[in-house]
Structure 1
Amino acid sequence: MLNQQVNAPAALQKYGTVSQRLPIGLAENVRQQSVTMLNQLLADTMTLRDLYKKHHWQVVGPTFYQLHLLYDKHYEEQSVLVDSIAERIQILGGVAIAMAPDVAELTSIPRAPKDREEAPIQVSRLLEAHQIILKHCHDYAKKADDAGDDGTNDLVVSSVMRTNEMQVWFISEHVVDTPLAHS
């Protein structure tokens, strides 16, 4: 009976809606636009975070030690971003995406295979995921700025974009002569 939805209580707030609980000086349409963008960014960031952990567990080869530590460091940094993005969604009156199946439906990042892959392929997948997130960041930062949502713009530029750019730099130093993997 625990997993059944029989007589489940009504949702306190439906996903995809925004409330005006917090008086933060932004119109509902601005909040809605930002929540939609941030949920996409959250799903992609959660996927990248989990991709780092997958590769942390599965990396092998001559660069094992360096990549094992780097992947774990980047996982932790992405975890901080996940929390910051989800909290911003809550501040805007939205409902943050949270469960793995929902994230998998929403993410723009291609799903990696369950198999263990060689380190150059892992690096390539991570760079592709970062590129997807960074493209969204440029678009979302401009939209948030144009809408007057300075808090979302600041989060996207100062935290998400800068962290991802730094991680791209570090991961790119491990690129070998293997073309980027595209799923």
Structure 2
Amino acid sequence: MAAVSNPETARFLNEYLADLSVLYQKLRSFHWNVEGPAFFTLHAKTEEYYDEVAEEIDDVAERILMIGSRPVSTLKEYLERASLKEAPAKVYRAEEIVGHLVDDFSTLVEALHRGIAVAEKEGDPGTVDLLTGSLQRYEKELWMLKAFSA
């Protein structure tokens, strides 16, 4: 494989990939373990989220390959790089799930702003475009989650 054309962007993307991988499993846990009056709403919504995150994981990993690097791919690597924390298997109520998602999506929004700046600095418009699309999605979902819990 050729030298990485955008090393800082590749580093950021691997950190972001790690966060997405932790988020994916966390969403699965919420999907399996939600209980209470909002069960039907959050059971369906967390499934929608983890399906979207699974697609995003693939897009980010492929982008890492496109810029000449290798995506991290082990649970150990994800946990070492991720800023998001895992969610243990237990009963989750709506307020707790929404609180976790507001925190996690806020963390991702902050990270995406940094990642966009890094990709712009390294002259990588493809990555800027990918990350901007993710930023817009997470900002919208964050707004909706806050409205749900208001």
TM-score norm. by structure 2 comes to 0.92
Q: How many residues align?
A: 150
Q: 1:64 aligns with which of 34, 39, 44?
A: 39
Deviations 1:86-135 (A, max 9, x none): 00001111110112222112110123233223221111111111111110
Superposition map of 1:86-165 within 5 A:
86-158=61-133, 160-165=134-139
Equivalent residue in structure 1 for 2:19, among 44, 53, 56: 44
Report the Cα offset of residue 174 of structure 1.
2.5
Q: Secondary structure at the match of 1:65?
A: helix
TM-aligned CA deviation for residue 169 of structure 1: 2.6
Partner of 1:80: 55
Runs of 4+ in 1 over 3 A off after TM superposition: none
Give how far 1:53 is off: 1.2
Partner of 2:28: 53
Unaligned runs of 5+ in 2: none
Higher relative contact order (CA 8 A, sep 6+): 2
Would the aligned equivalents of 1:55 and 1:71 in 2 still touch at CA under 8 Å? yes
Q: Deviations 1:121-162 (Å, cap 9, x if unpaired)? A: 11111111111111010011012112211111111112x212
Identity of aligned residues (%): 26
Cross-structure match for 2:147: 173
Equivalent residue letter for 2:2: Q
Q: Name the structure where helix makes up a greater proportion of residues.
A: 2
Q: Which moved more, 1:116-125 or 1:53-62?
A: 116-125
CA contact (8 A) 1:89 1:96 kept: yes
What value does the CA root-mean-square deviation take over the aligned residues?
1.6
Q: Give the TM-score normalised by the residue count of structure 1.
A: 0.76
Unaligned runs of 5+ in 1: 1-18, 22-27, 177-183
Higher Rg:
1
Alignment partner of 1:80: what SS?
A: helix
- Between the aligned partners of 2:35 and 2:124, the Cα distance in structure 1 is 44
